[in-house]
Amino acid sequence: MSQKLAKPWVEKYRPRKLDDVVNQKEIVARLKQFVKDKSMPHLIFSGPAGTGKTTCALAMVRELYGKEMAPNTTYLELNASDERGINVIRTIIKDFAKARAPVAFPFKILILDEADNMTAPAQQALRRTMEKYTKNCRMILICNYSNKIILPIQSRAVVFRFSRLSKDDIVERLTLVSKRESIQIDDSGLEALVKVAGGDCRRAINYFQSSSTLSDEVNEEVIYRIAGEVPSEDIVKILKFSIKGELQLARAILNELVRDYGLSGSNLIRQMHREVYNLEISEDKKVEIIKILAEIEYRLSQGATEEIQLNSLLAKIVLLDAK
């Protein structure tokens, strides 16, 4: 089993060509045109985690430079969450950007991951570097939220917005991984992986790899234990008992889940929020429950006692019909 962790599956199955990127077909088509023309503007890749932003950037660099792709020579990849100060812009980034590209290539590429974590002064310094050394270096800024990138930088770049991956996209990739790794996973396991991943393919593959170390046959129960979540039906039971006014039954199930799965209050509230919309109750009651969940989640974030707040959550739902 230890051999399965020798290399993270996320890296092992990262697409090496743009054509292999999961979904994002429209974005891939535009990037392939940049490769064909051997020309591109500065780019901003924006969207949720695990949707292929970094993969697209690296795949484009690989297709553009081929076998000549070399770190620190034809391209440079930095993570702005670690190196986000103005000194990095003035030293590492500026030195790379102003150096001329190898003769065979029109320009170098700088990939700046998690660019929305850069400080404001660093972003101000970066905009001048982008403008001054465009001939030598094109930049790809990768972020989760494009609104955190200052407007002067956005105006100097073309923004590509990545969407969350669909269930079918993630299932297709997980099925490929399971076949190549000879790991059995049933339909309930796939469904659970899709649910806990929330459109994040990277998270789904990581959970799959972790689950495979516990069992050669991955199922729903294994996935939920690895992900720190509980089966949806148990969360629905808690909500239904609370709505019916059966506080003690709801509390018993909640305590059992906390004991068996070791979940935090925030995780439970997040799952409850996800399941509320599927309950067969009036829209008004759904609205009230969501407001209660929001209030308790805020209290927990401020350091309130978890056990008391979770019991308060159940009590407030029980009292909805008493109003």
Tens digit of pLDDT for each residue in 215-274? 778 888 888 888 877 888 889 999 999 999 999 999 999 988 888 777 788 888 988 998
Quickly count: other Cβ atoms within 10 Å of residue 166's Cβ.
13
User: According to the model, what pLDDT value does residue 2 have?
Assistant: 41
Where in the chain are the domains? Answer: 24-161, 167-227, 232-322
Instruction: Tell me the CA end-to-end span of the chain in Å, nearest whole number.
Output: 56
Per-residue pLDDT tens digits for 151-203: 999 999 999 999 888 889 899 999 999 999 888 898 888 988 998 888 888 89
Task: Classify domain 167-227 by CATH number.
Answer: 1.10.8.60
Give the span between the Cα atoms of 66 and 69, in whole angstroms: 6
Angle between the N-to-C axes of helices 167-181 and 187-197, in degrees from 0 to 180, rounded to the nearest 10: 120
Share of the chain above pLDDT 90, in %: 43
Which range is least confidently modeled, 101-115, 160-174, 286-300?
101-115
pLDDT-derived band at 81, boundaries 50, 70, 90: low
What is the pLDDT at residue 323?
56
Could you tell me which CATH class the domain 232-322 is placed in?
Answer: mainly alpha
Pick 24-161's CATH classification: 3.40.50.970, 3.90.700.10, 3.40.50.300, 3.30.70.260.
3.40.50.300
- Asked if 111 and 61 count as a contact pair (C-beta separation under 8 A), the reply is yes
